[in-house]
Structure 1
Amino acid sequence: MPLLPGAEPFHHRGGPTGVLLCHGFTGSPQSLRPWAEQLAAAGLTVSLPLLPGHGTRWQDLQVTRWQDWYAELSRELAALHETCTEVFVFGLSMGGGLALLLAAEHGERVAGLVLVNPSVRADNPAAVLLPVLRHLVPTLPGVAGDIAEPGVEEVGYDRVPLNAAWSLSRLWRRVQESLPRVSQPVLLLHSPQDHVVSPANSALVLARISSVDVTERLCERSFHVATLDRDAGLIFEESLGFVRRLSMATQPTEATDQRG
């Protein structure tokens, strides 16, 4: 099945510090591509995979489950560790939830997390009907494209397949159970005006993780897809500073100097 234009994965071989980026539900790597390119330009090794069922047509997502999306990210994390001495994981929306689960289950193999409007809970009360509704209605209207900046579009599906949405709800449960096991440094950026993921998601993450090194930033000019919106520059700058601060603290001086 041909990919949607812009949905291609992105990989860049850079220095010994790696970053794995995780896109959101019904989205694609396009929503994180400018972020990935900024990190690559700074000399980092970057992996931005296309999650199974995404970037083609909604029918392909309908037959996947959260375990498929998570397995793809686990493989990418392992591949990065073959060439990198440390790996950070960044995620947008559902990608943030998957990033948290990676951190909980892989421990020290995840050096730190950057989360943008992470999705970890149901915001619509109707979500409790998904186990039944998914057998009656195949899709609902899509959620892609929640961006404040005029003329900026997100490459994603215009429909939400309910079998996949039901699996996403199962992922939320797994992530919530795992949050206390997340102890890595965390940078969390979220938009007060988010029409897809409520601020209660970020509040839940901050309340339940065990991390001591936690930084919270507001993306006050952006909607949900803040990585393509008016606060994209803030996200790029803060996340790169986060990685550099932690890398400088954990790497020998010589290696730090080599990375600038």
Structure 2
Amino acid sequence: MPFQPDYDVHADRRPYTLAGRSEDGRRVGALVLHGFMGSPLSSRPLAHYLNDRGLFVHCPLLPGHGSYPGALRGASRRSWLAEAEEGFRLAREQCDDLFLIGHSMGNVLAAHVALKFGGVRGVAMLAPVIDVPDPRLRYVKYARFFMPWYYPHKSKRESMQHLVRERVLDFDPTIDFDSPEFQAQLPHVSRVPISGMHEMVSTIEQGRKLWPRLDVPVRIHAGEDDTAAPPDNARQIYALLPGKDKELTVYPRVGHELMRPFEPIHATVWESIATFIETHVTTPQPAKM
């Protein structure tokens, strides 16, 4: 059964399924898998763009996601993999040709289901990860035993302060972030469970075992200014992929959310993904006379 959150999730962050239409006797679709602390919200506009072209599109909600990061407490890597598998089975039933679209950590989940189930026509990767952006994250496997929460708003790194503000306002744009009232709430709404960070790191580590086995057509899109998944991640993954049908594009002056409408490059990324799918659809066989 699909994951059913026991915490509040706004409607636009819930899973979505967009029915497609048959083209020349083939049903074509995409399974979209979001990343750590993300949600289906980030890919909805892209999904509607692809759906307008006739594609079936499905995006599940990973356990612990869709709300403030505190909901990640108790979520596990296994539950994320299980939800990706559930989403794959749902999409597979609706499609003759199935493509995968992953964002950030979601690319590891995409590689997992592609290798476990097979039959994937191609994978479009957005801001993929092969290592953590901060080496200190490698120690969360120890810190989780004595430090339950990480408070990113206390970080002295400007990039982290910017990320906290960005994530909070993305969750609720009406918030007056700098008001004294909200600043008093900030430690609670922005805190991240160390256990969830450990599961994220473990997922990324699992991906390093998958990339050398992922022999399907792949298109990788990354931003040169991405601090969450620096572009060297994409370059390393590209080098590890064994297939010949692979391409890597790194966009200058672009960050982590390269497929979202507020990022000017999004139109180019959307068109590239659509073209990739359209050129890798199975050619229908002529009927025998």
Aligned residue among 184, 189, 203 for 2:221: 189
Aligned residue among 255, 263, 279 for 1:245: 279
Residue of structure 1 in register with 2:141 after alignment? 131
SS for the counterpart of 1:224 is coil
Q: Mean Cα displacement is larger for which, 238-247 or 109-118?
A: 109-118
Counterpart contact for 2:70–2:192, Cα < 8 Å: no
**Residue 196 of structure 1: how far off its partner (Å):** 1.0
Residue of structure 2 in register with 1:71 after alignment? 82
Distance 2:190 2:269 in 1: 26
Unaligned runs of 5+ in 1: 256-260
Q: Which of the pair has more CA radius of gyration? A: 2
4+ residue segments displaced more than 6 Å: 142-145
Aligned length: 247
SS for the counterpart of 2:247 is strand
Q: Mean Cα displacement is larger for which, 184-193 or 11-20?
A: 11-20
Distance 1:87 1:2 in 2: 31
1:219 aligns with 2:255: no
Aligned residue among 246, 265, 277 for 1:231: 265
Distance 1:209 1:188 in 2: 11
**Residue 144 of structure 1: how far off its partner (Å):** 10
**Post-superposition CA distance 1:188-225 (Å, at most 9, x none):** 00001012111221122111111210111223242111
Aligned residue among 93, 99, 103 for 2:110: 99
Residues 1:83 and 1:56: Cα distance change in structure 2 (over 3 Å): same
1:116 aligns with 2:129: no
SS for the counterpart of 1:166 is helix
Query: Which residue identity lines up with residue 242 of structure 1 in the other structure?
Result: F
Counterpart contact for 2:32–2:59, Cα < 8 Å: yes
Query: Which residue identity lines up with residue 211 of structure 2 in the other structure?
Result: L
SS for the counterpart of 2:242 is coil
Residue of structure 2 in register with 1:17 after alignment? 28
SS for the counterpart of 2:35 is coil
**Residue 82 of structure 1: how far off its partner (Å):** 1.3
**TM-align CA RMSD:** 2.3
1:8 aligns with 2:14: yes
SS for the counterpart of 1:54 is coil
**Post-superposition CA distance 1:233-258 (Å, at most 9, x none):** 111100000000001xx231679xxx
Task: Provide TM-score, normalisation by structure 1.
Answer: 0.87
Counterpart contact for 1:31–1:154, Cα < 8 Å: no
For residues 144-159 of structure 1, the aligned pairs below 5 Å read: 154-155=170-171, 158-159=190-191
Residue of structure 2 in register with 1:86 after alignment? 97
